[in-house]
Structures are given as C-alpha cells and as structure tokens.
Amino acid sequence: MQMRHGECKTVGSKLVAVTVSVDDDGTAQSCHISGDFFIESVSDAESHALLHDLERALISDDSLRSVLDAHPSCQIIGTDEIAIKTAYSRAVSSNLPPLAGAPAQRVGVGSPDAPNIPASINTQTKQPDKSSEYRERWNALKPQLTVIHGHPRTPDEQMAIDETWAREVAAGTRQPTIRLWEWAGPAVVIGRFQSAQDEVNLDIAKQLGFDVVRRCTGGGAMFIEPGNTITYSLYAPLDFVQGVSIEESYRLCDWWLVEALRELGLDVRFAGLNDIASQYGKIGGAAQRRFPVGSGGAVLHHVTMAYDIDAAKMSRVLNTSREKMSDKAVKSAVKRVDPMKSQTGLSREHIVEHLIDWFAA
C-alpha cells in the first residue's frame, strides 16, 4: 500500500490537499481531505460528515456537487469541488513514491506529474469601500465590549479558552469580548482541517520545544514564539455580522485593527480572504467560526500578526509546499511575511498598548 498526496491552491484563497492510499496496482482504496480552508456548519459532526462523504465520493468517482448539495447546513469557504477533485487527480496520477520518513509526496504546481487544471476561484477582486458601515457596527458594539489583556498561557490553554468563551457569548453568559493574548511558550497552531505531519516538521518542532496544537477554526499554520507575535480574539454576538457574507465578515471584524495600525503609520490593507498586509508583505492572518446556539449565537474571530520573526527557525519548523505559494509574487513563506517591528521600529508593548487604547478613544 502506498500513500500519495495531491494539492490544489485556489488563486487568492485557500489550499486543499488529498492524501490517497493506493494498492500495488494503483487503485485508490481510501483518501483523506485536509487543508487551510474553512467550513461553517451547525456542529463539528456536520463538518466531519461532509468531509467523510466527499472522501467516499472521490473514491467511488461520484459527484462532489451532489455531496455538497446534500449538506445544505455546511458551507466550504476558500475552496470548492473543482479544487478538491483537482487535488485528488494530482494524487492518484502521480507515480512518485512517498519519501521515506517524510509526509506523503506532494504533487502540485511545478510538478511534471500535476495535471494542468486551473484553480477554481479568485477572491482577489477589488472590494467596495464599506468603511462607514463597518464603523457604525463597531460603534454599536464598543459600549458592550470587555477588553482584556491576558496573562501568559500555554498553547493548550489558549485553544480551550477561545472555544469556551465563544460558546459562552453564544449562550449569552458572557459579554462581547476582545482578548489580547500572551503566550507562555512556543507553538505551531494548525487549522481545524490541516494535517499536522504535512504542515509541520514534527521532529524538529519537538526538538526545539514547540507545542503543536489545533485550533477550533480553519485556516493555516501559525508559527508562534512569545514576544514575537501579537494575537487577539474577538467574541461577538452573531448580530454583529448579521446580513454580511462570511467572506466580507473578515473585513468587518478586522476593520478596527486596520484603523488602529494605520494610526501607527502603517499602510495596512486587506489581502485575499483573510490576510492583513502592507506594501512590504503579509503582517498577519485571521480565522473565524460561528457558534449558533438557539436564537443567539456568536462569531469567534482571531488574528495572529508577526511582530518579529526568526525566519531560519520558522523555515525549519514549518513545511511549505510549492503549491501553497503558487499564486504569490514571492516563492518563500519567509520572504512573504514582513514583521511589524521592522515596519514601525516600535516596541511590541507600545503596539499592544495602542491597540487597547483604540477602544477607549
């Protein structure tokens, strides 16, 4: 039995990967879908059921569109059935064996074995300016907000607090909250649907003392060292994003952050589905999830920004495929990220204080 791995990056959006188990004659026996996409659903069970049915449909060559239609309570963001099928086709068509001791063989853009199938979505279209609407929504939310600058916590504690507080806001037992994190140790935080062995060099991470933890939202892997990142979470009632598409709600939830960073002289803008960038490169990435509870509910939105970065260490700990960088102007994840320290010359403490003060202004 062999394991093969194919990927497809949607232009301007997310990556989907399919790892396929094939027998000696090349017949696919089972597969697993992973990636930095997002799924909004009424429950974890619904999301898992959707992925399970998509995996069965790939093996049996059934319609993926029919599977998606059969799960109307689930919405995939950042990828679609064309990209999933492409990733699967790239995996099964490869005759390259997996590397010994490494993740299953990656097949994507730049590989001679990759079918030349175009990406299916482009989210890098120009968005209308809705600053006035976003400002009104934030002005209505601010009087209810509790702003907390947390003390250092372990990665596992951070993940647990995020989901617990979101569910409490959804149930109406906690006020809307902004929480700025402090980290007690280094970590790689992977997205809800990512494969740890594909995203992280697990041996190197363990050797360097990095905990690998999974968050409750989708999106990509984040490289964390205490003092080198700025992370915040927003826990807001679903009314805050009422009438706003999931894609647009990323810009709404980060509107305050962009405004606050611009006050520091940064030329900050939204990029792609969930990134925040300047003219020098990516500053941070966001992830989001809705928690419906009865007639209430909450949206959890969190962002990790690079303040400083040990580029050499990050490149050792994280695995970045050619396919993931296929629609970027640069071909290195290290070069793509530009930390705020180099852009502002300000201390991390000064930036965090400025973000907190924004809510009191």
Contact 310, 332 (CB under 8 A): no
Please provide the CATH number assigned to the domain covering 2-107: 3.30.390.50
Dist CA 109 CA 86 (whole Å): 11
pLDDT at 25: 84
The region, left, alpha or beta by phi > 0 then psi within -120 to 50, assigned to residue 219 is left
Contact 3, 20 (CB under 8 A): yes
Nearest to 271 by CA among 251, 257, 241, 300: 251
Contact 190, 199 (CB under 8 A): yes
187-228 tens-digit pLDDT? 999 999 999 999 999 999 999 999 999 999 999 999 999 999
pLDDT at 11: 84
Nearest to 12 by CA among 109, 123, 108, 128: 123
Domain ranges of the chain: 2-107, 131-360
pLDDT at 97: 44
pLDDT at 109: 38
Dist CA 165 CA 300 (whole Å): 9
pLDDT at 322: 61
| Domains 2-107 and 131-360 alike in fold | no
Of all residues in the chain, the percent with pLDDT exceeding 90 is 71
Cβ neighbours of residue 126 under 8 Å, at least 6 residues apart? none
pLDDT at 239: 95
SS3 (DSSP) at 282:
strand
| Longest alpha-carbon distance in the chain | 67
pLDDT at 129: 77
pLDDT at 94: 66
Segments of the chain scoring below 50 in pLDDT: 96-125, 325, 327, 329-335
CATH 3.30.930.10 fits 131-360, yes or no: yes
pLDDT at 124: 42
